[in-house]
Amino acid sequence: MVIDDLLKGGKTLAVVGLGYVGLPLALAFAKKIRTIGFDINEKKLKTYEQGIDPTKEAGDEAVRQTTLTFTADPAALEQAAFIIVAVPTPITEDDMPDLTAVKSASRIVGEHLRPGTIVCYESTVYPGVTRRICAPILEEASGLVCGKDFKVAYSPERINPGDKVHRLQNICKIVSATDEAALEDVAQVYGLVIEAEIYKAPTLEVAEAAKLIENAQRDVNIAFMNEVARAFHHMNIDTKEVIKAMNTKWNALHFTPGLVGGHCISVDPYYFIYEARRSGYVTHLAAASRLVNDSMAEFVATSTIREMIRADLRVHHSRVCLLGLTFKENCPDTRNSKAFQIAQHLLKYEVDLSIVDPWINPAALPADLRDRLIPLEEVQNMDVLVFAVQHRQFSQLAPETLTGLYRKNDRLKVLVDVKGMYDRHALESLGFLYWSL
């Protein structure tokens, strides 16, 4: 069995793609068995070799102490009996699945595939990709036959960036494979690092679909709350107070309105929509939810401008500070962050925009936004504060501290609080014009 080869040290496990998903996975396996971490980005590998984890998922100490072998040499994959592919699967500009990376990774793996190897995909894909697209690429590149000479498997990643409670080890792991023997091998291999339940899905397609739907379901629920928030603004009703009242019922779902970004919830529904349409069904609810959630950045920006006008501010060249650019709190991940769109919309009104984000890597920003980045300590003489992300550095700011960040004049202090971090009544009593989703 594959697990025996790995435990005896005769073979290695390889993780292809060392990002937010692949790095923590490779580090975890390296504590148990010989493990190779492969990535084509040599600059990234040098960062890891210096003991630095820019994702902050595993931490610098874990990277410094690991026995993991970092390599950009694909020939190293020939030593592996178990290969995990964890490369990005984004969407194109027209919201179509982009399988470029997973196809390229499959080709590289195939060129160095050896008989008896199991190739397991963790990249998020629509149902059928592993069987219909990845396996044939592996066969063509290797000259081997899937099911006879090698096996394929699928195990959807469930890494939640920035979450210190739900970690790789304690999240239920879904596994699937082309046959029962391979499924047992896959379950045993992941069992080396997963402490939670390992759920054996009956087919590759079920496992692929499960990942899409768990995120599409969240997308739909958040879209409903975003629609509710926009409607309540027209009704002059405080959405936050409505949610607090609603959540007193035992079966309330506790979703809140907000910006939907990141590499999962804002992407996975499009993979589901694509494959459903290709199969002959139009997914009305999922598609409508995407439209609602994708429009929220513009809604926040235009609402900010409206509040500025209400405060009798001259929009042109007003000093506006956008606080938070990552897609979620306490995390450096900027993938598909809707805060970027807020910045772009505000700049169309020619405001004097500054940006604060203590978590972000400036190199991840386009030049036009990087030049606007300032430390929180330098925020002063502002007309408007727009809190787009609930970083702990922001949520800890006292109302009196917030007051000191504005110009010293008699005008209303416009504060846009996308996540509802602050107490409306406390701020309004201090002369703020407060707006929240």
Is 264 a residue of the active site? yes
Taking the C-alpha atoms of residue 50 and residue 66, their distance in angstroms, rounded to an integer, is: 12
Taking the C-alpha atoms of residue 146 and residue 421, their distance in angstroms, rounded to an integer, is: 53
8 burial level (CB within 10 Å; 0-12, 13-18, 19+): exposed
Helices (H), 162-314: 180-190, 204-235, 239-246, 268-278, 284-294, 296-310
Q: Are 18 and 37 in contact (CB under 8 A)?
A: yes
134-155 burial, b at 16+ Cβ within 10 Å, e below that, comes to bbebbbebbebebeebbbbbbb
β-strand pairing of 319-323 with 198-200: unpaired
Residue 352 bridge partners (DSSP): 319
Catalytic-role residue among 120, 134, 264, 331 = 264
Closest listed residue to residue 86, CA positions, set 12, 158, 135: 158
**DSSP for residue 249:** S
C-alpha angle 222-164-420 in degrees, rounded to nearest 5: 40
Q: Are 120 and 114 in contact (CB under 8 A)?
A: no
Closest listed residue to residue 391, CA positions, set 435, 430, 339, 426: 339
Q: Are 335 and 361 in contact (CB under 8 A)?
A: no
Q: Are 313 and 383 in contact (CB under 8 A)?
A: yes
Say how many Å lie between the first and final Cα of the chain, rounded: 54
Identify each DSSP E strand in 55-209 by its residue range.
Answer: 69-71, 80-85, 118-121, 151-154, 173-177, 198-200
Which are the catalytic amino acids? 264
